[in-house]
Chain A
Amino acid sequence: MKPLAYVPGTTAWKRRRFGQRCAQALSHLHEIVDEELSDDRADMRLRQHLGDCRSCTGHVESMRELKDAVARVQRSCDPELSARLMRLADDLVHGDGPERG
């Protein structure tokens, strides 16, 4: 006799399927965060699972926060460098910098 987890419709079967979806979602965590999922059926099922699963949604939110933090840190990384580059660019545009190579 098959274990209950392999008998469609049983609670154990649903729990096993749900766990499989979680594993799939986590293996595609970065594509989810980067909105790189496609419109195919497998990805649609992942989206649907995310709507049902608080744990997976938590992982996605956590990774999204890390991504946002990276962007924040990198954008504020070195305003002085940007300013110095802008001065060099300005010199080039207005003829005070090297004009020929």
Chain B
Amino acid sequence: MSGEAATLDDRRGRFNELIVPEVDFLARVSRSMSRSAAEAEDLAQDVLLRAFRSIDSFDGSYPRAWLFRIARNAAINRDQRKRDILLDEGEDFERRVGEGGTPGWSDPAEQVVAPLYDEVLERALDDLPPAFRVVVDLVDVEGMRYQEAADLLGVPVGTIMSRLHRARGRLRNAVAGSPLDRSARHVAVGADDVDGEATR
């Protein structure tokens, strides 16, 4: 019994302690790096298995950053493998609308049309290039500072800003005119007007 068993127990313990709490994060970043729900699931499961197998070599600091790097490398490998394959998995839009309306919309009329807004937005997010979607995910969903996202992705802060500006511009254009488009009040400045103007 061995040291191997002990090592396996250690591995399971560390995995449980460090990685399991980040499963939701992994699901989100896998989705942002993928073109479809099915692709995201394959990626996330692949990452989870890789993380389990290499947990011994992980020093335990910043599990999210570690998982993210594994996911990014796996996504790059996947995309290289699939480069010559025409990906057309169809319109895989599973819509999950929470029961009793969407949080954040207090007006009953808004609760009816809010899912439509979310659906348009979700589709627009799906249509973003993965490089843009990942930045939106890190900043808007994970709440990272520009510098943190830049460090994680290994790109300059200016690249983060540029991708974020362009991605949000596309999202805003996509939801413009849809029900509950609150940005319509401020369409005087179009997405392109503010794109890429990180002049500081």
Contact = CB atoms under 8 A, between A and B. Distances in A.
A101 B49 contact: yes
B48 A67 contact: no
A66 B125 contact: no
A50 interface: no
Given A58-B185, A81-B31, A73 B122 contact: yes
Interface residues of B, number: 60
Dominant secondary structure at the A interface: helix
Interface of B: 8, 12, 15-16, 19-20, 23-24, 26-28, 30-32, 37, 40-41, 44-45, 48-50, 52-53, 94, 96, 98, 102-104, 117-118, 121-122, 125, 136-137, 139-141, 145-146, 161, 164-165, 168, 171-172, 175, 182-183, 185-186, 189, 193-194, 197-200
B146 A81 contact: no
A31 B52 contact: no
Nearest to A40: B200
Interface in A82-101: 82, 84-86, 88-90, 92-95, 97-101
Interface residues of A, number: 47
A79 B42 CA distance: 15
B53 A100 contact: yes
